[in-house]
Amino acid sequence: MNLLRALCRLAAALVLAGGLAACASIPPGAGSTPVDPLEVYNRHMFDFNDRVDRAVLKPVAQAYEAVVPKDLRVCVNNAFLNLLEPVNAINNLLQGKPLTAITDICRFAVNTTMGLLGCFDIATTGGLAPRSNEDFGQTLGRWGVLPGPYFVLPFLGPSTIRDTFGRLFDFLGTDPIWYIEDIPVRNSLVGARLVDTRASLLPAEKVLEAAALDKYQFVRDAYLQLRRNLVYDGNPPRLKDPDEEDSDDTPPAKSPDSPAPVADQPLPAQPR
Amino acid sequence: MSYRTIVTSLAIAALIGGGLAHGQAVQAQGTAAASVSAPDALVKSLSEDVLASIRKDPTLQSGDVARLNALVDEKILPHVNFEKMTRLAVGRSWRDASAEQRQALTREFRSLLVRTYAGAVSTAKDYQVQMKPFRAEPAETDVTVRTQAVPARGEPIQLDYRLEKTSAGWKIYDVNVLGVWLVENYRNTFTGEISRGGIDGLIKSLVDRNKALESKTS
Confidence class for position A122, pLDDT limits 50, 70, 90: confident
Closest CA to A194 of A114, A48, A20, A76: A76
Chain A residues in contact with B205 by the CB 8 A cut-off are 213
Q: What is the pLDDT of residue A9?
A: 65
Query: What is the interface size between A and B, counted as CB pairs within 8 Å?
Result: 183
Q: At what angle do helices A98-113 and A70-83 cross, to 10 degrees?
A: 140
Residue B166 bridge partners (DSSP): B169
Residue A270 has pLDDT above 60, yes or no: no
Rounded CA-CA distance A126/B130 in Å is: 18
Per-residue confidence band for A26, with pLDDT thresholds at 50, 70 and 90: confident
If you average pLDDT over residues B53-77, what whole number do you get?
Answer: 84
pLDDT at A255: 39
Q: Looking at this predicted complex, what is its ipTM?
A: 0.76
pLDDT tens, residue by residue, B171-184: 999 998 888 899 98
pLDDT higher than threshold 50 for residue B216: yes
Contacts 24+ apart (CB under 8 A), B183-186: B183/B85, B183/B88, B183/B89, B184/A221, B184/A225, B184/A239, B184/A258, B184/A261, B185/A218, B185/A221, B185/A222, B185/A225, B185/B16, B186/A213, B186/B89, B186/B109
pLDDT at A269 over 50: no
**Residue A152 confidence (pLDDT):** 95
Q: What is the pLDDT of residue B177?
A: 85
Q: Is B136 at the interface with chain A, CB within 8 A?
A: no
Among the listed residues B158, B69, B216, B4, the one whose alpha carbon sits nearest the alpha carbon of residue A158? B4
Structure letter (DSSP) for residue B157? E
Q: SS3 of B218, please? A: coil
Of B2, B9, B115, the CB nearest to A167: B2
Whether residue B5 lies within 8 A of chain A, CB to CB, comes out as yes
| Sign of the dihedral through C-alpha B148, A132, A159, A179 | negative
Q: Give the 3-state secondary structure of residue B181.
A: strand
What's the CA dihedral at A97, A102, A105, A111 to 10 degrees? -110
Cα torsion A50, A51, A52, A58 to 10°: value is 70
What confidence score (pLDDT) does residue B168 get? 87
Q: How confident is the model at residue A156 (pLDDT cuts 50, 70, 90)?
A: confident
On whether any CB of chain A is under 8 Å from the CB of B185, the answer is: yes
Model confidence pLDDT, tens digit, residues B114-126: 888 777 777 777 8
Taking CA–CA distances from B159, the nearest residue in chain A reads A234
Q: Model confidence over A76-114: pLDDT tens digits?
A: 989 999 999 999 999 999 999 999 999 999 999 999 998
Using a CB–CB cutoff of 8 Å, tell me whether B130 touches chain A: no
Give the closest residue to A105 by CA, choosing from A119, A91, A95. A91
Mean pLDDT for the stretch of residues A235-246: 65
- Per-residue pLDDT, B213: 84
Q: What is the pLDDT of residue A264?
A: 40
Q: Is the pLDDT of residue A245 over 50?
A: no
pTM to 2 decimal places: 0.78
Q: Which residues of A touch B158 (CB under 8 A)?
A: 229, 234
| pLDDT of res. A15 | 55
Give the percent of chain B with pLDDT over 90: 31
Would the pLDDT of B23 be above 80? Answer: no
